Amino acid sequence: MDWKSIFGLRPLPKPGYIKAYEQTLLKKTSKAKPIRELDFLVLDTETTGLDVRKDYVLSYGAVQVSNNRMRISESKEFYMRPKKRSKEAVKVHGLIQVRPYISREQLIRSFLEDASNKILVGHHLGFDLAMLEKLGKTLGLKKIKQPSLDTFELAVRLEVGKYHNPNSIAAQDYSLDKLCERYQISLDDRHTAAGDALLTAQLLLKLLKLAERKGIKTFGDLMA
C-alpha cells in the first residue's frame, strides 16, 4: 500500500494534461521571432485578498492574443465555487447569479491547455501565477515556468527605460486603471477577471506597438 500517497506525503501520479504541459515547456521559442508573430495568453484572477498563503482564487479570465489579434471567441471566464458562502451575504446582496462554476481541476486543465506554447501576460502577473500554482499544487503542477511578460514592468520599461531606479517609480502611476487612462482604453467591465484580462490585452497591444517603435522588435528583445 502506498501510504505516502494516501497521507499526502508524496504527490499522486501526475495527470496526463500536466505531463503534456510540461512537454511543451521543452520547446523554446526562437529569439529572432518578430513580436507580431508571437502568441500570448493574457490572464487575470480575482482573489479573496493579496496574501498568497491565506487567500484563494475566486475567478479566472483569459484572452488569447496572436498575430496582434485578440481572439474574443477563445476567451475564458470561470468562477470557482466559494468555499463558504454566507447565506446572509446572499440575502443582503442578492448574489444568486448563475455562474459558470467549475472545479479546481477543470480550471487548471483549461489554463494549461491555453497556456501551452504561449507567452503569459498579466498585470502584476507574478501574483496571479503564484495563486494558480497554489491552486494546481495538489494536482501535481509544480511550477509555471514558461516565458511571461508583466504589463506593469513593460509599461515602466517603455516609459522610463530599462535601467530605471525602481525606488523612483510610483507604483500607483502604473496601475491598470492609470495605464488604461493613459493609453485611451475605456474601462468597461473593470474588476471582473475576464474584463480585466481584456483590458490588459488591449494594453498589451498598445504597449507592443510602442515597443516596436522603440526598437524592441523580436521575442529576444522583448524578454531581454
Partner 1 sequence: MVKDGAIKLTDFIDGEEQTIEFCDEGDVFGVLALLGKRPYILSAKAKENSLIMAVPVGIFDKILKENSQVSLYFASGFASGQVVVRSDLSQTQKVRTLLGNNSHQNGLLLFPGQASINYSQPVIQCRIGDTISKAVAKMSTDKVGSIIIVDENNCPQGIITDKDLRNRLIAKGLPYDTLVEDIMSHPVITAKKDLEFSQIYLNMVKNRLHHLVFTEDGTCQSKLIGIISDHDILLSQGNSPAVLIKALQDSSDVHEIAKLRNQAEGMLIYFLENELAIDFIAGIITEINDTIIQRAIAIAKARHSVDFRDVCDTPFCFLGLGSEGRGEQLLRTDLDNAIVYEDVPAELEEKTRRFMHLMARDIMDILFACGFHSCPAEMMANNPEWCQPLSQWKSYFSHWISKPDQQSLLMASIFFDFRAVAGKVALAEALTEHVYKEIGKERIFLNFFAKNALLNPPPLGFFRNFMVEKSGEHAEKFDIKLRAMMPLADAARVLVLNHQVVGVNNTFKRFEKLAELEPNQAELFKDAGKAYEIFMRIRALEGLSASSSGRFIQPDSLGKLQRQLLKNAFFPIDEIQKILRVRFQLDYFGK
In the complex, which residues of this chain contact partner 1 (CB under 8 A)? 69, 73, 184, 202, 205-206, 209
Find where cell 494594453 sits. 203
Find where cell 491552486 sits. 135
Distance separating alpha carbons of residues 80 and 141, to the nearest angstrom: 18
CB 192 within 8 A of CB 60: no
Residue among 2 and 177 whose Cβ is closer to partner 1: 177
Element containing residue 55 per DSSP (H, E): none
Smallest gap from residue 69 Cβ to partner 1 (A): 8
Residue among 157 and 206 whose Cβ is closer to partner 1: 206
Distance separating alpha carbons of residues 174 and 187, to the nearest angstrom: 15
Residue spans of alpha helices (H) in 74-188: 87-93, 104-115, 125-137, 151-160, 176-182
Residue among 73 and 97 whose Cβ is closer to partner 1: 73
Residue among 112 and 205 whose Cβ is closer to partner 1: 205
Smallest gap from residue 209 Cβ to partner 1 (A): 5
